[in-house]
Chain A
């Protein structure tokens, strides 16, 4: 069974500061890993996805995440926070290989990012 743990339900940073959102996963097989962002009253938007190519994945809006197998982690970072980054961020995992697991994402509980001016 898969699971995702996001450390910290709330993270607060100043504008221009480093953003670090933590995600650890548990999976019996090498997983696909995702970060999604949800703005108020909107659906989820894919930020980036890891599928076993490069371990450092670059996404939209200046975000990137690094897959570390030894730490079972997939932390999301952005060098300089912007006010528009304020949102809720979800880490998710799915099994490889398709089949009935295709599209069945297991989400973390989410981290609300607040950016102060």
Chain B
């Protein structure tokens, strides 16, 4: 069974540009989560999507946005990139709100570098 897959593995952008990160959850999972792992700041919750809707959002500015598609894959968009957006962005998936097992499976991440 395929795990959570993220693309691209690495992404290099310049300040002010937009970045798009993609995530495919495990088959059968309806929830997708995005976390940012920045140096010195640890892992921070970004966004949670379930059944195509945004269910919760972390303490990030509006230029961090995303969506979930009908096949439950997800995109994270970061607009007007700033140097401090450089981080590893991790996607995770789970069975979703209807499941009682709150077990998250993580992908290997996208390393975003903003120059």
Residues of chain A having any CB pair with chain B under 8 Å: 32, 36, 41-46, 49, 51, 90, 92, 94, 98, 100-110
Rounded to whole angstroms, the CA-CA distance of A46 and B108 in the bound complex is 13
Task: Name the one of B43, B108, B109 contacting A90, with C-beta atoms under 8 angstroms.
Answer: B43
Knowing A107-B43, A108-B42 touch, does A102 contact B102 (C-beta < 8 A)?
Answer: yes
Q: Select the residue from A44, A103, A105 with max chain B CB neighbours within 10 A.
A: A103
Judged by a CB distance under 8 angstroms, whether B72 is at the interface is no
Give the shortest distance, in Å, between B59 (CB) and chain A (any CB). Answer: 11
- Chain B: how many interface residues by the 8 Å CB criterion? 25
Knowing A41-B108, A43-B4, A43-B106 touch, does A104 contact B48 (C-beta < 8 A)?
Answer: yes
Complex contact A43–B90 (CB within 8 A): yes
Complex contact A45–B106 (CB within 8 A): yes
Give the shortest distance, in Å, between A106 (CB) and chain B (any CB). Answer: 7
Q: Select the residue from B4, B92, B97, B102 with max chain A CB neighbours within 10 A.
A: B102
Rounded to whole angstroms, the CA-CA distance of A108 and B97 in the bound complex is 24
Rounded to whole angstroms, the CA-CA distance of A49 and B94 in the bound complex is 14
A98: B residues at CB distance < 8 A: 97, 102
Task: Name the one of B33, B43, B44 contacting A103, with C-beta atoms under 8 angstroms.
Answer: B33
Rounded to whole angstroms, the CA-CA distance of A107 and B43 in the bound complex is 6
Rounded to whole angstroms, the CA-CA distance of A102 and B43 in the bound complex is 16
Knowing A101-B56, A102-B97, A103-B33 touch, does A32 contact B108 (C-beta < 8 A)?
Answer: no
Complex contact B42–A107 (CB within 8 A): yes
Complex contact A110–B45 (CB within 8 A): no
A42: B residues at CB distance < 8 A: 108-109
A104: B residues at CB distance < 8 A: 33, 45, 48, 56, 58
Binary CB contact string for chain B from 82 to 115 against chain A (1 if under 8 A, 0 otherwise)? 0000000010101001000011111111000000
